[in-house]
Amino acid sequence: HVKGKPTRCRSRWCGCLGALSSLCLVFRTDTHMLDLVVYGATGFTGRLVAAYLRRSAPSGLRWALAGRDAARLEAVAAEIEAQPGLAAGVGAAPVSVLGGCDADEASAARIAGETRAVLSTAGPFSKYSDALVGACAAGGVSYVDINGEIPWVARVIERHDEAARASGALIVPNCGFDSVPSDLCALRATRLLADGTGSACVSVQGVMHMTGAMSGGTIETGLEMERLYPGELRQPFRLGGASRLARGGEDPSDADPSEERYDGTLRRWLAPFGMARINTRVVRRSAGELDAYVNVDASRFRYREEQLSPAGGRAAAKMAKNAAIPPEKLRALVEAGRLPKPGGGPSAEKRAASAFTALALARAADGSAAACGLSGGDPGYDETAKMVAEAALCLVAEERAELPAAARGGSGVLTPAAALGGVLERRLGGAGLVWEDGYPLGSLPGAPDEEAEAAAVEAEAVAKEAW
């Protein structure tokens, strides 16, 4: 379809003018504008997103699947229609497929000309979604994705924020497991601290506990980022957040953790978390550039994120070693078949056995603190699909004036917390993820390590003085 021009539609899934034949003549007008296009719908996560929307989208939502191969898109449409558990009158089927859409500017303009919003799962995003986000920003079309490519996001901000603000487009990258739990947990924890004590937040500590497996697409994206932007990946404020800091942006404490450590407050061993160099950049932008959180002292704010090691110090040391595997070794593991290639991912059975909990602990300078947690199922795929789908539904099924983005002009390139905030919190809770305010720190998996306790408490006292 091309907006405003007669064109021949070759999709038997097309709902235009009620036609169901394999060839129909369609005239697109604004009254037939799609609400949402899912780009990259034949990929592993794209299929999960499509299945989720078929089950959970509001009735009457006009959405479509887009990608290069129309036949594969139609196969996805048939697959999600045949999924078990569909209830009559619940959810919405895609009204069309848009095949022949590649990563070029012409395809991007075609997609942006058809819809109010785009959800992209096509990564590496710097390669397959770059033209699309540019077309959306220029054309007033809102956009969400699941990317974890911080150097690319920085370029999206630099190239397209001004155009998006002018056109009215709301561009919200990082709407999957990277970085919705981190961003929204930080938002919620600072709100709890402000409501409970009135004290300004000076730091948030993020802790992830998860089980699950990486997909080939996730691994390929990480390798591509290492190849293209090795230096930028290690810049703690690549998305901003340092301009208002009294300490500047070169403090060693802002660097990504590289070793295991025992946390005297949590009384658990922690290890470096592979996704922290994505999530920390998003949180720092939310706090320091966009004022997305509640009562934060941006001149002193710190954010650190690590992974829980329930099995103790030796396991934490092994996790730290795994987090430091060099890119060339990862590439060799993929080529040897020991890690999945792009397009593949864990089975439904493995995903069903996976879960996550994200914890945020907000602290004030006077020692007061507040914690919250977000828990769900398989983090990398099932819940990522849910998160980004619900983020897209915030754009097309909620009143735009009710979104936090409205306080920031309603458009531009924003983080999930700054753009969607509490509206996305509510939707995720309604979709089955579990929020827990006042998260009981003693209930974390694992057990205290008495040998490590005294040294950790002393080290944290020194750190608190420095903060």
DSSP 158: H
Dihedral angle of Cα 322, 326, 332, 333, to the nearest 10 degrees: 10
| Neighbour-count burial for 327-348, b at 16+ CB within 10 Å, e otherwise | eeebbeebeeeebbebeebbee
Residue with tokens 């989208």: 57
Provide the residue type at 461 as one letter: A
Q: Return the pLDDT at 4.
A: 41
pLDDT, one tens digit per residue, over 68-93 is: 999 999 999 999 999 988 877 789 99
Q: Return the pLDDT at 334.
A: 86
Q: d(Cα 258, Cα 154) in Å, to the nearest integer? A: 24
Sequential DSSP letters for 21-58:
SSSEEEE--GGG-BSEEEETTTSHHHHHHHHHHHHHSP
- Give the pair of three-digit tokens for residue 205: 């500590």
- Taking alpha carbons only, the member of 92, 90, 84, 99 closest to residue 12 is 99
**288 neighbors 335 (Cβ within 8 angstroms):** no
Q: Return the pLDDT at 458.
A: 77
What's the burial of 12, exposed, middle or buried (CB within 10 Å: 0-12/13-18/19+)? middle
pTM reported for the whole predicted model: 0.90
What's the burial of 406, exposed, middle or buried (CB within 10 Å: 0-12/13-18/19+)? middle
Sequential DSSP letters for 357-380:
EEEEEEEETTS-EEEEEEEES-TT
Q: Return the pLDDT at 27.
A: 28
Beta-carbon contacts of 283 under 8 Å, excluding residues fewer than 6 positions away, are 179, 182, 183, 186, 204, 206, 303, 305
DSSP 20: -
Q: How far apart are the first and last CA of the chain?
A: 57
- Coil, helix or strand at residue 293: coil
Vertex 240: Cα angle to 235 and 245 (nearest 5): 95
- Radius of gyration, alpha carbons of the chain: 22
Beta-carbon contacts of 96 under 8 Å, excluding residues fewer than 6 positions away, are 1, 9, 11, 13, 14, 15, 16, 34, 64, 65
- Residues (pLDDT < 70) of the chain are 1-32, 213-215, 343, 463-467
Q: d(Cα 39, Cα 125) in Å, to the nearest integer? A: 11
| Neighbour-count burial for 385-394, b at 16+ CB within 10 Å, e otherwise | bbbbbbbbbb
**140 neighbors 168 (Cβ within 8 angstroms):** yes
Give the number of other Cβ atoms within 10 Å of residue 97's Cβ.
28
Give the number of other Cβ atoms within 10 Å of residue 465's Cβ.
7
Q: Return the pLDDT at 457.
A: 73
Q: d(Cα 445, Cα 355) in Å, to the nearest integer? A: 13
Q: Return the pLDDT at 239.
A: 96
- Give the pair of three-digit tokens for residue 60: 């009457």
Q: Do you know the residue count of the chain?
A: 467
Q: Return the pLDDT at 218.
A: 73
Dihedral angle of Cα 320, 322, 327, 329, to the nearest 10 degrees: 140
Provide the residue type at 385 as one letter: A
**223 neighbors 209 (Cβ within 8 angstroms):** no
**275 neighbors 171 (Cβ within 8 angstroms):** no
Sequential DSSP letters for 375-424:
EES-TTTHHHHHHHHHHHHHHHHS-GGGSGGGGGTS-EE--HHHHTHHHH
Q: Return the pLDDT at 323.
A: 85
